């Protein structure tokens, strides 16, 4: 029995578990979306981070990495235990076909495991749903938790996809918009905490009339 797991988010650059093989490739008919809340790692319940999910879309392609765990049942169980704890916001596991570059017809692997989140708030409390671009970018730019901030998650994903040679236009757009928000926040902070101006007051010459000599009364 061999376990294959497809990573499309942080698993691409930080798998975190013991694996025996890694293959770069893609799955079909799914695209990345930032609609899952993270409230204990890169966000908080009051200001949740936005992390990735997969959304079904006919004809879409999602690049990432497939990881193989083939060291026996015990090693597979350890990997699954780690993944289920790490991917606790994802309430479903689906099985997909995985393709390698150069062959988009015959899958290189079948039965590859993927963690996804049910897109229904009534079923999955971590599902945030879509949001306008400006709202989403501000949330990603400002959310932070005990293990880091939301924007670094996005920037790390952008960098990881660049390194495997398959950038995601949606990720690039989102990252660039987040950079604009951060630049705006930095500029605003700079204006508010800028250097204080030294104001000199010049009253000119002031005429003070001479004081009349006081008469001391005898208090006898």
Strand partners, 93: 115
Q: Which of 216, 144, 126 is nearest to 182 (CA)?
A: 144
Is residue 187 annotated as part of the catalytic site, yes or no? no
Per annotation, catalytic residue among 21, 57, 78, 87:
87
Return the C-alpha torsion angle 151, 157, 158, 162, nearest 10: 160
Q: State how far the Cα of 24 lies from the Cα of 6, in Å rounded to an integer.
A: 10
- State how far the alpha carbon of 178 is from the alpha carbons of 9, 152, 160, 219, in Å: 18, 10, 17, 84
- List for the chain the helix, strand, coil content (%; round to 5): 30, 30, 40
Q: Which of 178, 175, 145, 168 is nearest to 37 (CA)?
A: 145
Instruction: List, in order, residues 6 or more apart from 133 with CB less than 8 Å away.
Output: 174, 177
Helix (H, G, I), strand (E, B) or coil at 167: coil
| Residue 108, number of CB atoms within 10 A of its CB | 16
Catalytic residues: 87
């Amino acid at each position: 029995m061999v376990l294959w797991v497809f990573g499309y988010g942080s698993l691409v650059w930080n798998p975190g578990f013991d694996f025996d093989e890694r293959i770069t490739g893609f799955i079909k008919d799914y695209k990345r979306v930032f609609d899952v809340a993270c409230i204990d790692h890169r966000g908080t319940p009051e200001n949740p981070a936005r992390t990735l999910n997969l959304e079904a879309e006919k004809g879409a392609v999602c690049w990432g990495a497939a990881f193989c765990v083939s060291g026996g049942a015990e090693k597979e169980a350890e990997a699954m235990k780690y993944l289920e704890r790490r991917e606790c916001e994802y309430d479903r596991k689906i099985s997909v076909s995985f393709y390698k570059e150069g062959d988009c017809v015959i899958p290189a692997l079948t039965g590859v495991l993927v963690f996804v989140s049910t897109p229904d708030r009534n079923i999955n409390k971590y599902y945030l749903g879509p949001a306008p671009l400006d709202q989403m970018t501000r949330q990603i730019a400002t959310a932070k938790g005990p293990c880091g901030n939301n924007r670094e998650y996005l920037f790390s994903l952008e960098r990881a996809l660049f390194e495997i040679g398959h950038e995601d236009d949606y990720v690039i757009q989102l990252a660039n918009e987040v950079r604009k928000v951060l630049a705006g926040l930095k500029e605003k902070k700079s204006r508010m905490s800028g250097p204080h101006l030294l104001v000199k007051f010049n009253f000119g010459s002031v005429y003070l009339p001479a004081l009349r000599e006081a008469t001391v009364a005898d208090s006898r």
